[in-house]
Amino acid sequence: MSITINNLTAGYDRHPVVHHLSGSFADASLTAVAGPNGGGKSTLLKALVGFVPLMTGRIDFGGIKSDDIAYLPQQFEIDRTFPISVIDVVLLGNWSRTGAYKPMGKLHKKEALDALAEVDMAAFASRPVVSLSTGQWQRVLFARIIVQRARLILLDEPFAAIDGHTTLELMQQLKQWGRNGVTIICVMHDLNLVRSHFPQSLLLSRELIAWGSTADVLSEENLEAALERRGSWQESLERCEINGEERSA
């Protein structure tokens, strides 16, 4: 039931950012996606969630449907000044069950409050989101994912600008999801965090550098290769002919 990627190329305006990537995420695995800026980490997540069309290849989700996928983009993509309360944000996690019309009942509300309690934010339920700190806001978004009951969770730098204590608590939540059988793919910048918490890693610099157990993937050679690869790709604008197929790259 793993998620298998076969020869995936994705990007914007004919310029691939992720180039001919193949591999698989095991069921209930916790994988960090690391690599330099512009290396395609966010694009890989967007390709998985279907926001970026694939130029080549395909993804086999092994029975996971799009309702089962939760995606949390980088923080700046959500308007945190909007006049909405914490509980209403968490309730949105029910969308796949309620859609745009079905009313949210007592059960939905209880589930949302329980999720808030799990991330230590129950006392904030009726507060407007504009009053939250960055760390509190991230906890609320995690609570929404809990309510979503996803089987695949994609997180894009969830710990950027988050203090150490909150990071550790949210990391426990990631591990809890893993124990419940959820597959997690998480874009990470902080390699120390990756080494201490993520069993699996994928090092991406437009092309796959390494994919496997974190200790093997984050070796000195691999990290150097990731940096080098990135530089050389900036200039190559010929058509790509990897795997025998001619592609406008």
Partner 1 sequence: MKRALTGAVLVSCSSAPLGVFLVLRRMSLLGDIMAHAILPGVAAAFILFGMSIPVMSIGGLAAGLTVALLAGVVSRFTALREDASFAALYLIAVASGVLMISLHGTAQDLEDILFGDARLLDEQILSLMAVISGSTLLALLLIYRTLVVESFDPVFLRTVRGNGGVVHAVFITLTVLNMVANYRAMGTLMSAGLMLVPAIASQFWTQHLRSMLALAVALAVSGSMLGLILAFSCNLPSGPSIILILGGFYLFSLLFGRFGSVRARYFPFRHFSR
Token code pair at residue 12: 């914007």
Q: Give Cα 134 to chain centroid, integer Å.
A: 18
Told to check if 134 binds partner 1 by CB under 8 A, we report no
The residues that bridge with 81 in the sheet, in sequence order, are none
Of the pair 25, 233, the CB lying nearest partner 1 is at: 25
Handedness of CA 111, 163, 123, 78 (dihedral sign): negative
Of the pair 69, 208, the CB lying nearest partner 1 is at: 69
Walk across the sheet containing 3-12 and list its strands.
15-25, 3-12, 54-60
In angstroms, what CA-CA distances link 3 with 24, 28, 32, 35, 72?
5, 10, 15, 21, 19
CB of 108 to partner 1, least distance (A): 13
CB of 120 to partner 1, least distance (A): 17
CB of 124 to partner 1, least distance (A): 13
Told to check if 194 binds partner 1 by CB under 8 A, we report no
CB of 69 to partner 1, least distance (A): 7
- Round to whole Å and give the CA distance between 115 and 127: 16
CB of 247 to partner 1, least distance (A): 25
Of the pair 85, 222, the CB lying nearest partner 1 is at: 85
Region of 23-31, 61-69, 111-119, 170-178 interacting with partner 1 (CB under 8 A): 61-69
Told to check if 131 binds partner 1 by CB under 8 A, we report yes
x/- site string to partner 1, residues 34 to 53, per CB under 8 A? ---------------x-x--
Angle, helices 134-148/164-179, rounded to nearest 10 degrees: 10
The residues that bridge with 7 in the sheet, in sequence order, are none
Residue with tokens 């999801």: 177
CB of 183 to partner 1, least distance (A): 16
Helix (H) / strand (E) element for 115: namely: helix 106-118
x/- site string to partner 1, residues 65 to 104, per CB under 8 A? -xx-xxx-x---xxx--xxxx---x--x--xx---xx---
Of the pair 82, 228, the CB lying nearest partner 1 is at: 82
Size of the site for partner 1 (CB under 8 A): 24
Give exposure, 101-136, as e/b (b: 16+ Cβ within 10 Å). eeebeeebeebbbebbebbebeebbeeebeebeebb
Contacting positions for partner 1 (CB under 8 A) = 49, 51, 66-67, 69-71, 73, 77-79, 82-85, 89, 92, 95-96, 100-101, 128, 130-131
